[in-house]
Amino acid sequence: MIAKTGVPPIKSQGIKTKLVPWIKSIVPSDFTGVWIEPFMGTGAVAFNVAPQRAILCDANPHLINFYSGIASGEITPEVVKEYLIREGELLLSKGEDHYYFIRDRFNSEHSPLDFLFVNRAGFNGMIRFNRKGGFNIPFCKKPQRFAQAYITKITNQVDWACKIIKTKEFVFKHQDFNKTISEASPSDIIYCDPPYIGRHVDYYNGWDDSHERELFDRLSDFEGKFILSTWHHNDYRENEYIKTIWSKHSVLTREHFYHVGGKETNRNPVIEALVTNFNAISIERKKESPIQYSLFETQAKYGAA
């Protein structure tokens, strides 16, 4: 039976759902170690790769709190459905004022359920925080956002994540990527999906040149295997870090189109890259996903900068 790509309940800019089959295709078939993610984000990659053991980390505590709530049984499909029905009715009757009420409550109390609400009712499904750590995405201008069909969709996504977490050995940690990488062993695979340098920089606590180079140093020193997601180029410019640092390793490329983002300029085609420190050969089965990739898959190598 051909597996379909699952969609997690949390959305974000740069989510890897449509790239999951490609990422899965280069994971060595004999891998039996721990799958480690220093930047788990929405969990899309880890839940679809579905290894037996995983350590999933992020510097954003709200992502970790949400999935830790599922792991502990505090958050269930039934709890989510009841919550969204209640808050959806209030949103319909009060309009966007209720969204901002929930957003203020989340920024004060940090409820995982309120995080789900503002994530799914905020503009374009984006996750963004100000310098004080406050979620600051505006309302999506759809008072009927949580109609029955949408609530059912989100509830099913929670149920999917819940079943995976309960049948696997998944550990969720709120910690810095350096600490996460230092805890990995040579038998593990580290999958990194950091903020895209020069593109998606609205990370919970920032991402700049020093972070990108620090990550490069940590992964280059790692004795096990790693896979890094980043961008290669688009119609306007190239990712200079591919040429200056990441070209030390193997680089696979593929075209992708992002639909989530606050600006039209962020919704253009982009050539995605997977950087690895091993000979990664894609054995993707095209029927595994209804998503059709349109350009190419090549191995790109550059000379020294």
Q: How far is CA 278 from CA 39, 139, 180, 252, 282, in A?
A: 20, 44, 20, 11, 12
For residues 147 and 162, give the distance between their C-alpha atoms in angstroms, rounded to a whole number: 22
What 8-state DSSP symbol labels residue 128?
-
Residue 104: alpha-carbon gap to chain centroid: 24
pLDDT at 270: 86
Stated as kind and residue range, the H or E segment containing 300 is strand 297-300
What 8-state DSSP symbol labels residue 141?
S
The total number of residues written for the chain in this structure: 305
Structure tokens at 42: 């929405």
- pLDDT above 60 (res 193): yes
**Do residues 131 and 202 lie in contact, with contact meaning Cβ atoms separated by under 8 Å?**
no
Mean pLDDT within 132-148? 95
pLDDT at 171: 98
- What string of H, E and C letters represents the secondary structure of 19-72? HHHHHHHCCCCCCCCCEEECCCCCCHHHHHHCCCEEEEEECCHHHHHHHHHHHH
pLDDT at 267: 55
Please, which residues have CB within 8 angstroms of residue 6's CB and are 6 or more apart in sequence?
44, 47, 48, 157, 160, 161, 164
Q: Which of 61-70, 261-270, 287-296 has the lowest mean pLDDT?
A: 287-296
Q: Compute the CA torsion angle 154, 160, 166, 171 (nearest 10 deg).
A: -70
pLDDT at 168: 97
More confident residue, 259 or 209: 209
pLDDT at 280: 85
- What string of H, E and C letters represents the secondary structure of 161-210? HHHHHHHCEEEEEECCHHHHHHCCCCCCEEEECCCCCCCCCCCCCCCCHH
- pLDDT above 60 (res 271): yes
- pLDDT above 60 (res 260): no
User: Whole-number mean pLDDT of the chain?
Assistant: 88
**Do residues 97 and 143 lie in contact, with contact meaning Cβ atoms separated by under 8 Å?**
no
- pLDDT above 80 (res 245): yes
Provide the pLDDT confidence category of residue 21 given band limits of 50, 70 and 90: very high
More confident residue, 272 or 280: 272
pLDDT at 198: 75
Mean pLDDT within 95-122? 98
pLDDT at 199: 66
- pLDDT above 50 (res 294): no
- pLDDT above 90 (res 150): yes
pLDDT at 131: 87
pLDDT at 289: 41
pLDDT at 89: 98
